[in-house]
Amino acid sequence: MAAAAFDGSAYRKEVLSSLRDRSPSEVEDLFWLAHIPRELDDDRAIRERLSAAKGFLNKELSRARQAAVASAVLKEWPRVEQALTDTPTRRALRDRLERTPDAPAPTAAPRRRQAAGSDDPVARRRRQVAANLRELARLRGEPELAEDLFALLGLPVSATPATIEERLAKIGEVNRRRRADRERSLTDELLAQARELLVVGDPRAYMAGLEADNAGGVADTLLAGDIDGAREAVAAARAAGTSDAALIAQVAAPARERAAAGGPPLATSAAGLGTWCPSCGTVNAVGAAACAGCRGDLTVQCEACRTVSPADLPRCPSCSANLDEPRSALAAVRAEREAARAAQHAPPAPVAHVTVDRTEDGAVLTWPASAESGVDAYLVERTAGGSTRVLGRTTLTTWTDSNAVVPGVSWSVRVLRGERASDPVLAGAPPKGGGSATSRSPAPGTATPAGADERGSAASRSPRPSTATPSAPEFSGLTGVRARASIPVELSWTAPPGADVVLHRTERRDDGDVERRISVDPGGYRDRQVGRGRTYVYRVSLVGDDGPAVLLELVAGSGDEVLPSASAPAAPEPAAPSAAEPAAASPAPPPPAVEPLPPEQEAAPPEPPAPQPEPAAAPPAPAPPAPQQAAEPPAPGPPPTPDPPRPPGVLIEGVRVTREGDGRTRVTWDWPTGVTEAYVAWGSTPPQTAGGQGRKVTNMRYELDGGAFLDGIPGGTHVAVFAGRRDPAGTLAWGAAHTTSRGTAP
């Protein structure tokens, strides 16, 4: 549309006269400040009107009455040109002004005046003082003449009213000797205002109001998009003693409102007050990379020059390209990231159902794959005898449990996503909230009928009928004892309720057998620490039972089904001979094959008819003691070194330290019942407590790796293993170490 020519008289009457009691930086309607109709959208016509208005203001600087107002408007002119010459910014400003039709732009009060009251005479007087100080600084050619009345008088803010009155009288006397001009009249007006505000009024109220005005001026310039004006306002506020925290507090509320309304950016970073977050409106500290409120990024990359800039700048500082599009892309990425974070923190949905089949290899669990994104794996658990044990985690949708031979056993599957796990779904039972589960075997969690084999008949499980028997014999209360010589070796048995089972494994080696004591479950054990083709002997017994133990001998990896063919008493520990009774501790030698001759016959032996080999001579018998004299005890040797006392608590025992072929040091031990975590410590001296040089090992990792492997451990290094137990609150406490808990690296 064609716009009318610029009218200077109308501009002076409608705009400049209205700015005598207010600052141009408080004006939000830049169309009114430039005297341009809002409906005008022609870039060329707008530039012509701006050029004409700027020329008129420069002429007004020569008029004493309009000079101060014209100078203040010219300071705001870069903000006016930047907002009205940029089409997107101009349209956004027009839309924002049209949304508030009840507050006309020429008479609309700024935010800080709306908050404090537009008809407050003290606030109006402070604004008049600020305008007079700026005009006096311009007349004297001193831009930083004074920021407040105390600075004009050269007095501290703690000056008393008497001191202020004395200084006013001296300055007034000097000013009256000057020639009559605008500077003299302006000084007299400032002295009268100082007497009214500092002597008659409360100086503290004046300084508090001035600080609020400075902070409000910063907020107004930022909201209007005047970056240069905001820098000047921040510098003036800091010079007046206003802290950055007070400035940010004034900006915080309108900053959040602008972010919620999706308005133009608030360039707080350009004013040195931190970075404004376009998502939540939080004003963050200077140099922050992520928002403290929403953890979003505070930088955007210019698509024209690829320069990384603060997210609150309207234009790229390098090439002046508009940053609205990169900011919109950043907001979309942030929204997507927040949605993904919310989904990550929410527990995943459980699987629909779990199916269990009993085969010759054990119980085979299958379930459908989870349809949710981000699912990492599935956790399989087995419950038997009231206790739950984690079998492991898998990325597949199937699991085979070869130790599923205990009556009353059940399984459950959880969905894992990051650190979140779903509710468990029992095999054969529907999940919570719906779904179904099927089982093509006897229902888990229920005992099998008496006399039935827990894992099926031997004929259906193995192609070797000669090695399978209908049932295994009973030894010391153990029933159903059997083993499968696979990799790993699978052992199973049935123990009386509440009984603890002890398993000893002996590995046959050419350089000497190696025996290990293993803590096992009441229903069986899967031995992963075996080598293919090696011979192992397993001895199974009950804790506290002096009856015979069960022996099973097998070759790992052969696949044979092994049943105990004989039983043997539990091997007692050999007792050392006592010094008090040596004869009772030593067994009697076997009788000789030929009785020795008496001494009198040895001198004249009969002539043999033919040479015969001489029989082995029996060892000479000790001389019997005299009838009235006791046997002389042997000379006592040095007393044996007693073992240190066993510390209280749960201990790791049976520690063995070996050197593998690849140079790594392997540490194995016997896990006590109920212990799932251990700490392996090493050093040049025997470790006394956990927590030094070493690492923690879980029983699952121990079984998967076949022990704890230590890299770079030199020979002679002392190794100790400490047991860890957790209290009901989850706090982990480490036990002590005994002689059997230690070893030395070869």
The answer to whether residue 133 scores a pLDDT higher than 70 is yes
Do residue 81 and residue 132 come from a single domain?
Answer: no
Edge to edge, the sheet with strand 355-359 lists 355-359, 362-366, 398-401
Pick from 339, 318, 326, 332: nearest CA to 299: 326
Residue-wise pLDDT tens digits, 304-313: 787 887 877 8
Give all strands of the β-sheet with 548-555 in edge-to-edge order. Answer: 514-519, 501-507, 535-542, 548-555, 567-569
| One domain, residues 367 and 267 | no
Enter the tokens of residue 238. Answer: 């800091």
Look at residue 85 and tell me whether its pLDDT is greater than 70. yes
Mean pLDDT of 43-70: 86
**For residue 139, pLDDT beyond 80:** yes
Per-residue confidence band for 584, with pLDDT thresholds at 50, 70 and 90: very low
Residue whose structure tokens are 């982990």: 732
Confidence of residue 559 (pLDDT cuts 50, 70, 90): confident
User: Could you say which of 310, 345, 380 is where a domain stops?
Assistant: 345
pLDDT computed for residue 565 by the predictor: 56
Q: Report the range out of 422-431, 522-531, 610-619 with the highest average pLDDT.
A: 522-531
Residue 369, in any domain of the structure: yes
Cα separation of 413 and 390, whole Å? 10
**Overall number of domains in the chain:** 6
Contact 136, 229 (CB under 8 A): no
* Cβ-based neighbours of 535, under 8 Å, separated by 6 or more: 507, 508, 553, 554, 555, 556
pLDDT of residue 430: 47
How high does pLDDT run on average in the chain?
73
- CATH number where 416 lies: 2.60.40.10
- Are 333 and 374 in a shared domain? no
Q: Are 260 and 273 in contact (CB under 8 A)?
A: no
pLDDT at 720: 92
pLDDT in tens, 439-485: 333 333 333 333 333 333 333 333 343 333 344 444 456 777 888 88
Domain ranges, residue 403: 356-426
Is the predicted pLDDT of residue 636 greater than 60, yes or no? no
One domain for residues 340 and 366:
no
More confident residue, 611 or 508: 508
Whether the predicted model's global pTM rises above the 0.85 cut: no
The pLDDT score that the predictor gives to residue 105 is: 41
Q: Report pLDDT digits (tens) over 732-743.
A: 777 877 777 888
The answer on pLDDT for 37 being more than 70 is yes
- Answer with the one of 345, 370, 396 that is the final residue of a domain: 345
DSSP 671: P
Q: What percent of the chain has pLDDT over 90?
A: 1
pLDDT at 542: 76
Looking at residue 108, its pLDDT comes to: 35
pLDDT at 101 over 50: no
Task: Assess if residue 438 is contained within a domain.
Answer: no
- What is the spatial order of strands in the sheet that 665-670 belongs to? 653-659, 665-670, 708-710
Is the pLDDT assigned to residue 707 strictly greater than 50? yes
Label residue 730 left, alpha or beta by phi (over 0 means left) and psi (-120 to 50 means alpha).
Answer: left
Pair (333, 378) in one structural domain: no
Tokens of 631: 């046997």
Q: Give per-residue pLDDT as tens, 469-481.
A: 344 444 456 777 8
At residue 16, does pLDDT exceed 60? yes
CB under 8 Å to 36, separation ≥6 — which residues?
3, 46, 49, 50, 84
Does residue 324 or residue 201 have the better pLDDT? 201
Asked if 249 contacts 282 with a C-beta cutoff of 8 angstroms, the reply is no
Distance CA(323)–CA(495), nearest Å, equals 74
Distance from chain centroid for Cα 211: 43
Mean pLDDT over 331-353 rounds to 70
Q: Within a domain: residue 227?
A: yes
* Burial 653-689, CB ≥16 within 10 A → b, else e: bbbebeeeeeeebbbbbbbbeebebbbbbbeeeebee
More confident residue, 381 or 463: 381
pLDDT of amino acid 746: 87
- Tokens representing 399 are 């699991």
Which token pair is 548?
């015979």
Average pLDDT over residues 339-365: 76
> Minimal CA–CA distance to 23: which of 214, 244, 278?
214
Dihedral sign, CA of 225, 229, 233, 235? positive
In a domain, 574, yes or no: no
- Residue 564 · residue 579 · CB < 8 Å: no
Residue 576: is its pLDDT beyond 50? no
Share of the chain above pLDDT 70, in %: 70
Q: Dihedral of CA 725/728/732/738: which sign?
A: negative
pLDDT at 126: 77
**Reported confidence tier of residue 246, pLDDT bands at 50, 70, 90:** confident
* Same domain, yes or no: 327 and 398: no
Of 15-19, 443-447, 589-593, 594-598, the range with the highest mean pLDDT is 15-19
In terms of domains, do 335 and 360 share one?
Answer: no
Query: Given 569, 593, 614, which residue is the final one in a domain?
Result: 569
Residue 649 has which token pair? 């608590």
Nearest-angstrom CA–CA distance, 579 and 669: 34
Span of 227-236, 353-362, 419-428, 440-449 with lowest mean pLDDT: 440-449
Q: Are residues 405 and 497 in the same domain?
A: no
In angstroms, the CA 660 to CA 682 distance is 17
Task: Read off the CATH number of the domain in which 730 is found.
Answer: 2.60.40
Q: Do 146 and 230 fall within a single domain?
A: yes
603/556: higher pLDDT: 556
Q: How confident is the model at residue 427 (pLDDT cuts 50, 70, 90)?
A: low
If one compares 729 and 231, the residue with the highest pLDDT of the two is 231
Lowest mean pLDDT among 31-45, 539-553, 584-598: 584-598
The reply to whether 600 falls in a domain is no
* Highest-scoring range by mean pLDDT, 233-242, 277-286, 456-465, 577-586: 277-286
Within this chain, do residues 267 and 363 fall inside the same structural domain, yes or no? no
Query: Binning pLDDT at 50, 70 and 90, where does residue 340 land?
Result: low
Whether residue 88 has pLDDT greater than 80: yes
Residues 13 and 104 in one domain: yes
- Specify whether 677 is located in the same domain as 707: yes
* Residue 739 in domain: yes
Q: What are phi and psi of 234, to 5 degrees?
A: -65, -40
∠253-234-328 over CA atoms, to 5°? 50
- Which helix (H) or strand (E) segment holds residue 517: the answer is strand 514-519
> Higher confidence at residue 474 or residue 498?
498
Instruction: Please indicate, yes or no, if residue 577 is contained in any of the structural domains.
Output: no
Helices (H), 86-160: 87-98, 111-116, 121-140, 149-153
Any domain includes 230: yes
More confident residue, 347 or 62: 62
